Amino acid sequence: MEQRVLKLSQETGIGAQFGGKYFCHDVRVIRLPRHGASCPIAMAVSCSADRQMLGKITKDGIFLEQLETDPARFLPEVTQEDLQDTPVVQIDLNQPMSAIRAELSKYPVKTRVMLTGPLVVARDIAHAKLKERIDAGLGLPDYMKDMAVYYAGPAKTPEGMASGSFGPTTAGRMDSYVDEFQANGGSFVMLAKGNRSKAVTDACKKHGGFYLGSIGGPAARLAQDCITKVEVLEYAELGMEAVWKIQVQDFPAFIVVDDKGNDFFDLVNKPFAGTPVSLKK
């Protein structure tokens, strides 16, 4: 099987590394768990980090660049005191949605928040199902109107734990739903990771919504430290892609898009012409 895939990757002519014609020298076929919405078979090239090393061949031999073995040494030291200098706003999710939005509206983008209370969890397939309801004239269910929505899906719950790993998924895949969902009274507060398109910023300004950015990576820590209860609300047959309800305590996030048309990533990406933009409060 691996020899067949090696030959295929060398002859495809599509993608990075000239389709594998010159640089695909080995292949491994492995069986892994897959996302419920993903294709069953994937071909992946090696990480780009493996393709950035410099090398040269001379009459004296073959020379490869010595790569940094401890890149973390270049990071600035961050102490607990540094983190405590950043104001944290507690957001009670047990309030009506109008009160949650009014509270978030008091603060600028980049504000650090801690969320406590219920969240509805819905991601790709659940959003498609909810769109079908709107198209059929049924509107959105109350849970999309009454609770903030977390784009995520749980891993298997270990014995004795409230939840398995439960980190945010990339928000951009749900961008196309936001304006229509908010026009139908839902998705006013969204929680996920990554930046959003201008369409989302415009929708939040138009309808009074917010996008909160969670932290990508610590899914197990979020489950262990912040999630106290998990239950299925709807579409249980979808497994991990079902609509869930979770209870969270001090769930960390940041205001990324507000109801005034501001997007934190615009500040980060703005060219440093003249005076640089300060990201400190």
pLDDT in tens, 219-270: 888 999 999 999 999 999 999 899 999 999 999 999 999 999 999 998 876 6
85-269: CATH number = 3.20.130.10
Residue % of the chain over a pLDDT of 90: 56
Mean pLDDT within 85-93: 88
pLDDT (0 to 100) of residue 235: 95
Backbone angles phi, psi at 80, to 5 degrees: -60, -35
Q: Kindly report, residue by residue over 125-159, the tens digit of the pLDDT.
A: 999 999 999 999 999 999 999 999 999 988 888 88
pLDDT (0 to 100) of residue 18: 61
pLDDT reading at 275 higher than 60 = no
User: Of 67-71, 158-162, 196-200, which range is least confident?
Assistant: 67-71
What does the domain layout of the chain look like in residue ranges? 2-64, 85-269
pLDDT (0 to 100) of residue 52: 64
258 CB neighbour count, 10 Å cutoff: 24
Report residue 280 as tokens: 């400190």
Please name the amino acid found at residue 166: F
Mean pLDDT within 106-127: 96
Give CA–CA dist 259/36, Å, rounded: 33
251 CB neighbour count, 10 Å cutoff: 25
Q: Is 182 exposed, middle or buried (0-12, 13-18, 19+ CB in 10 A)?
A: buried
Give CA–CA dist 248/101, Å, rounded: 18
Indicate the average pLDDT of the chain.
87
Is residue 67 helix, strand or coil?
Answer: coil
Whole-model pTM: value is: 0.71
Q: Kindly report, residue by residue over 168-219, the tens digit of the pLDDT.
A: 999 999 999 999 999 999 999 999 998 999 999 999 999 999 999 998 778 8
The better pLDDT of the pair 34, 42 is held by 42
Mean pLDDT within 16-21: 66
pLDDT (0 to 100) of residue 41: 79
Q: Is 202 exposed, middle or buried (0-12, 13-18, 19+ CB in 10 A)?
A: middle
